[in-house]
């Protein structure tokens, strides 16, 4: 049961279940293609969403007025709503929380070039509504006609996870009967890639190797994930198919450094402990962890230390789907929440692509080589972002 941490401790809320999902990733668009992609070797070269055609969701004029990250937001949310079936929600009690780390960087870069080459009078009047980070959530809300809370979270690489958690809070607290939680990113522009390259965050080999001894940075990608969340009562009343349940969530700050994680993973450990307390379960109840696992030397080490602090050695089976997908920044947490839910439904934990040479200082039980069968149980999905933002979701099968 999802709980909200208030000033006086946990406050019981309504149970929140997942009834629809949508995803766009470099390894596949749609649930089946995405799952198949998670169980294939990682691809070579740039990891962009292949064959994405915004005209599938927008008319020609509208597509030119919506940045790629917001197009992804709409596409993922539309897929999730269609997957959920006839929701029948009161529009005033249906909300949207959609995150992004960067927002409309592609549009901003293009229009800066226009400014430099042609002057300010040639800047597009659509620059602001296209680049603003809340454009994703706004377009999803307008598309669905949902008039409840419509908000954007921009906590860097934790934004997707925080958005799913915040959407779940809307339902658990009774403000909404239905909410979409998700995240999207499309920052693979010259400026975006150049910036991450110059700060030495990206892999020089172009290979994502989470927790591997040879890891040398993350591989940037783009994409989006979205989950339709409903109160259990609302879902059962309409006969919805239920994929799983949001059992709890945690959020902390490292308060340490603008890009580097806190030494020893203290902030991440506290976040996971809060999520477990929120869910009302013990560390021993966790059957799987989808790690943040970016493939950077510092992040993977800090996360492994945090997991060891909370769960001991070796702890639950751990996977990082970023071995296949790369790192979608503000969209990563939502994409990975979809992956965790599919792991529960398919009764398989996907392998960590790129993991071949164990790091002797990392003692995790890293799932690798091939998918591992398991008996579905509560699972963690971790996201840790620049700025020291930490987010953890607890997702599990629905228990009667």
Between CA 181 and CA 136 the distance in angstroms is 12
| Predicted local confidence at residue 167, as pLDDT | 98
**Could you give the maximum distance between any two Cα atoms of the chain, in Å?**
64
| Predicted local confidence at residue 13, as pLDDT | 86
Helix, coil or strand: residue 300: helix
- Residues forming a β-bridge with 225: 23, 183
Q: Please pick, among 234, 327, 368, 389, the residue that the annotation labels catalytic.
A: 327
Between CA 285 and CA 291 the distance in angstroms is 17
Contact 326, 219 (CB under 8 A): yes
Between CA 241 and CA 83 the distance in angstroms is 9
Sign for the CA dihedral angle at 200, 206, 208, 211 comes to negative
- For residue 83, the surrounding DSSP H or E stretch is helix 68-84
Each of the 400 residues of the chain gets a pLDDT tens digit; together they read 344 444 333 435 899 999 999 999 999 999 999 999 999 998 888 999 999 999 999 998 999 999 999 999 999 999 999 999 999 999 999 999 999 999 999 999 999 999 999 999 999 999 999 999 999 999 999 999 999 999 999 999 999 999 999 999 999 999 999 999 999 999 999 999 999 999 999 999 999 999 999 999 999 999 999 999 999 999 999 999 999 999 999 999 999 999 999 999 999 999 999 999 999 999 999 999 999 999 999 999 999 999 999 999 899 999 999 999 999 999 999 999 999 999 999 999 999 999 999 999 999 999 999 999 999 999 999 999 999 999 999 999 998 6
In terms of Cα–Cα distance, which of 240, 247, 191, 175 is closest to 1?
Answer: 247
Length of the chain: 400
> Per the structure block, which two tokens stand in for 379?
């699972």
Helices (H) and strands (E) in the chain — how many of each? Answer: 13, 16
Is CATH 3.50.50.60 what the domain over 16-396 is classified as, yes or no? no
Domain boundaries, the chain: 16-396
Angle at 46 between CA 182 and CA 257, to 5 degrees: 60
For 84, list phi and psi in degrees, rounded to 5: -75, -15
Q: Are strands 244-253 and 223-231 parallel, antiparallel or unpaired?
A: unpaired
Q: Please pick, among 26, 27, 150, 157, the residue that the annotation labels catalytic.
A: 157
- For residue 315, the surrounding DSSP H or E stretch is none
| Predicted local confidence at residue 152, as pLDDT | 98
| Predicted local confidence at residue 145, as pLDDT | 97
In terms of Cα–Cα distance, which of 201, 139, 138, 146 is closest to 171?
Answer: 146
In terms of Cα–Cα distance, which of 382, 394, 326 is closest to 38?
Answer: 326
Contact 84, 20 (CB under 8 A): yes
- For residue 236, the surrounding DSSP H or E stretch is helix 232-237
Exposure string for 140-162, b = 16+ CB within 10 A, e = fewer? bbebbebebbbbbbbbbbbbbbb
3-state secondary structure 146-157: CCCCEECCCCHH
292 tagged catalytic: yes
| Predicted local confidence at residue 196, as pLDDT | 96
| Predicted local confidence at residue 12, as pLDDT | 53
234 tagged catalytic: no
- Residues forming a β-bridge with 392: 250, 382
256 tagged catalytic: no
Q: Please pick, among 234, 292, 368, 389, the residue that the annotation labels catalytic.
A: 292
How does DSSP assign 4-59, residue by residue? EEETTEEEE---EEEEEEEEEETTEESHHHHHHHHTSPPPSS-BPPTT--GGGTS-
């Amino acid at each position: 049961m999802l709980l909200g941490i208030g000033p006086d401790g946990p406050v019981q809320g309504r149970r929140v279940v997942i009834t629809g999902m949508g995803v766009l990733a470099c390894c596949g668009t749609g649930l089946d293609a995405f799952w198949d992609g998670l169980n294939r070797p990682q691809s070579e070269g740039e990891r962009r969403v292949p064959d994405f055609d915004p005209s599938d969701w927008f008319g020609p004029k509208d597509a030119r007025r919506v940045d790629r990250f917001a197009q992804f937001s709409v596409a993922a949310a539309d897929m999730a709503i269609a997957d959920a079936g006839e929701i029948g929600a009161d529009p005033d009690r249906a909300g949207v929380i959609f995150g992004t780390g960067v927002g409309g960087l592609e549009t901003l870069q293009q229009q800066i070039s226009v400014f430099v080459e042609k002057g300010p009078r040639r800047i597009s009047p659509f620059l602001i509504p296209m680049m603003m980070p809340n454009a994703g959530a706004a377009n999803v809300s307008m598309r669905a006609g949902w008039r409840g809370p419509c908000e954007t979270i921009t906590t860097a690489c934790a934004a997707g996870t925080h958005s799913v958690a915040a959407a779940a809070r809307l339902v658990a607290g009774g403000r909404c009967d239905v909410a979409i939680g998700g995240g999207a990113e499309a920052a693979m522009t010259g400026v975006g890639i150049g910036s991450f390259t110059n700060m030495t965050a990206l892999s020089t080999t172009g290979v994502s190797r989470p927790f591997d001894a040879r890891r040398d940075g993350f591989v940037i990608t783009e994409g989006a994930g979205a989950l339709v969340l409903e109160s259990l009562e609302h879902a059962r009343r309409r006969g919805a198919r239920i994929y799983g349940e949001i059992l709890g969530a945690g959020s902390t700050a490292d308060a340490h450094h603008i890009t580097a994680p806190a030494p020893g993973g203290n902030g991440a450990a506290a976040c996971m402990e809060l999520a477990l307390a929120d869910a009302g379960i013990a560390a021993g109840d966790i059957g799987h962890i989808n790690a943040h696992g970016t493939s950077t030397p510092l992040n993977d080490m800090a996360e492994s230390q945090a997991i060891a602090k909370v769960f001991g050695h070796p702890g639950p089976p751990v996977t990082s789907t970023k071995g296949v997908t790369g790192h979608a920044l503000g969209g990563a947490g939502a994409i990975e929440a979809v992956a965790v839910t599919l792991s529960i439904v398919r009764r398989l934990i996907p392998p960590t692509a790129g993991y071949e040479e164990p790091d002797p200082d990392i003692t995790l039980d890293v799932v690798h080589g091939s998918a591992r069968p398991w008996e579905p149980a509560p699972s963690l999905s971790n996201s840790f972002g620049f700025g020291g933002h930490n987010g953890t979701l607890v997702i599990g099968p629905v228990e009667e």
